[in-house]
A and B are shown apart, each in its own frame.
Chain A
Amino acid sequence: MEDVLTENPPPSRFFQEDLNNFVSPSEPLPSPFILFSNPKPELPLRPSLLIVAISSPSLYVFHSLPSKSLIGSLIIPEVPFSGNTVEPSLQDKTCNIYSLTSSADDKNSILLVSVQLHVSPERSNLVSRLLIGQDIIPERVVILDSVQSRNFRGRLSPDETLAAKLETSSEKEAVTSRVNLDYFPSGSVIDGLSASLLSRCQVKNIRGTLVVSWPEFGSNVIRFVRALLKNIVPSLDVASVNKELEKCSSRKDAWTESDLYT
């Protein structure tokens, strides 16, 4: 183990190849796309609220919600389908889009997006453009993710639940329905898909809130997410989330997510 006093300090937030103009570019990939179920809804969809679940606790809560209808799926070509089941499952590598209302065209419709696969930073902007501003134009967006310990400049304890938010300018100016949380501390950053989604909201002048929670797993965080969603959508039926809550009290087994086992 290296001596922390003499070892080289960690590099800045980039790789050395990011500083080289002449690195050979990787092969281009096919663009992601959204596949809507039959009958295909009239596009663009204009939900009053789009909620995107990225963190494990939020994915668990979404999966437990009753009365949601699968209306589409965002396909990322480089992500294999092997191991996925016909019926939506928490172990699937999918990005499904659900409606909480009877009709996706309802002006008060709510769409849920369960991001159960890894979206690389290089693909995040393409995915966020698909979810916001093209086939889906929401009035308001809430994104649920976890604090990224690698980018967080404060102290994170596995025994302490914490949550914070970032919001767009239009969300800050809204007088109703704002999420009541402290702001994410200055000096720390969030990257990846959740950052891309919030950025997209900001440049499109859409009300957007990114809520990050810690730790990444655990029943306390699940309870927090459940309460947060109930606060945002009072009519949401979260009773079923309680039933199997204790099954998620420990860290998810990493081997079940491995691509070696399909």
Chain B
Amino acid sequence: MLNIFILQCINIYYNIYRKKRVRAYCNIEVKLSIGNVGQLAVDLLVSSTGADRVGYLDDPNLLPCVGNDAYGPLPCGEIALPLERVLYESSSTATTLAQQRSPVAKVLHFFYLYNIADLAASSGKKHVIVLSSLDFQRPQHNLNMSRGPQVYYLSNAEASERDDHCERLGFGRLDEYDSEERCWKYLSSVFEENCKEELTFHSEDELEDIDYYPSLPFAALFSAFKARGLKVTCLLCYCSEGDNIPDAFFLAEAASKLTSLSPDKFHGGGKWQIPYSWKSMYGASPDMSMF
């Protein structure tokens, strides 16, 4: 039984409302990012796999929000909270997906990351996959668009910081990751076991273009999980604000390849299922009565 944990970076919860025992070792999570692509991708995975909600995570560091069930097919009145965990099980894999719907309170960001990493480690997770996105308008040093859109990865699977499995799947390594670069080193040191307090860092005005990647939430989560001894893989794609549904499909497909959650095993008969909540993603249609 392959157990994977896919995580979207978010806050730590101390009180978990459990509907069933979660025994998955693989976790898929999302990290707040431009275009909310990670969140959309997890919505797509949850909707398509028919995963069951197994709990809510109650973390004081996460900004509150509630809504009706996002997956449908009808608004059933099952409330959605800022951080939820759903479980997908098959004969060959058990995967939990964690969906985050709102940001972390800034001053409490690192406390949240400590907690979520502790939670994943203590619950027996073996592999964490983080889904996130990168701003296409930011400088990219090695971006090659000649072969079309590309999924990039960041992994601690091997000492060389490369991942053969990801590369066989056609993912490109995020070359902007440099474990010796000051910001990446800072993140690693923050989450080391013997360094609980916040370290002093240079002011925001001193950040340079190269600091963009480690400044992003996925980088902090990657460092937090790595410090807890978990295998962590970040899957990233470049996008801009706008219609990010195609980006969500792109990233969800990458996650499904990595975790063997292939669409032909989905409950919808091999097809991706659009979440019910996406029907109103861009608001109501314009009022035509004025014409």
Contact = CB atoms under 8 A, between A and B. Distances in A.
B107 A14 contact: no
Contacts of B277: 186-187
Contact of B36 (A12, A151, A203): A12
A53 B45 CA distance: 38
A26 B66 contact: no
**Residue among B68, B75, B102, B214 with the most chain A CB within 10 A?**
B68
Contacts of B65: 151, 189-191, 195
A18 B276 CA distance: 27
A170 to B, nearest CB: 10
Interface string B54-77: 001010101111111110100111
A82 interface: no
B99 interface: no
Contacts of A153: 280-284
Interface string A7-45: 011111111011111111110100000000000000000
Contacts of A240: none
A145 to B, nearest CB: 11
A160 interface: no
B36 A13 contact: yes
Interface in B125-166: none
B67 A184 contact: yes
A155 B287 contact: yes
B17 A203 contact: yes
Contacts of A203: 15, 17, 56, 58, 81
The size bracket of the interface on A is 35 or more
A186 B284 contact: no
Contact of B81 (A12, A19, A202): A202
Nearest to B207: A22
A129 interface: yes
B32 A21 contact: no
Given A22-B183, A22-B201, A24-B203, A210 B107 contact: no
Nearest to B283: A153
B81 A199 contact: yes
A185 B67 CA distance: 8
Nearest to B40: A12
Contacts of B172: none
Interface string B92-110: 0000000001111111010
Interface string A113-150: 00000000110111011000000000000000000000
A188 interface: yes
Contacts, number: 165
B123 interface: no
Interface in B155-214: 183, 187, 201-204, 207, 211, 214
B279 interface: yes
Contacts of A58: none
A192 interface: yes
A188 B67 contact: yes
Given A185-B75, A189-B67, A28 B219 contact: no
Contacts of B242: 9
Contacts of B241: 8-12
B260 interface: no
B66 A195 contact: yes
Nearest to B113: A21
Contacts of B81: 199, 202-203
Contacts of A151: 65
B234 interface: no
A23 B202 CA distance: 10
A189 B75 contact: no
Given A124-B64, A186-B72, A13 B56 contact: no
B278 interface: yes
Contacts of B72: 186
A166 B58 contact: no
Given A20-B204, A153-B283, A203-B17, A26 B67 contact: no
Contacts of A184: 67-68, 75
A21 B214 CA distance: 8
6 shortest interchain CB distances as A-B pairs: A187-B280, A196-B64, A153-B280, A25-B107, A155-B284, A187-B277
5 contacts: A12-B34, A22-B211, A169-B78, A186-B67, A195-B64
Given A15-B103, A19-B34, A125-B62, 4 more contacts: A122-B107, A125-B64, A172-B78, A191-B64
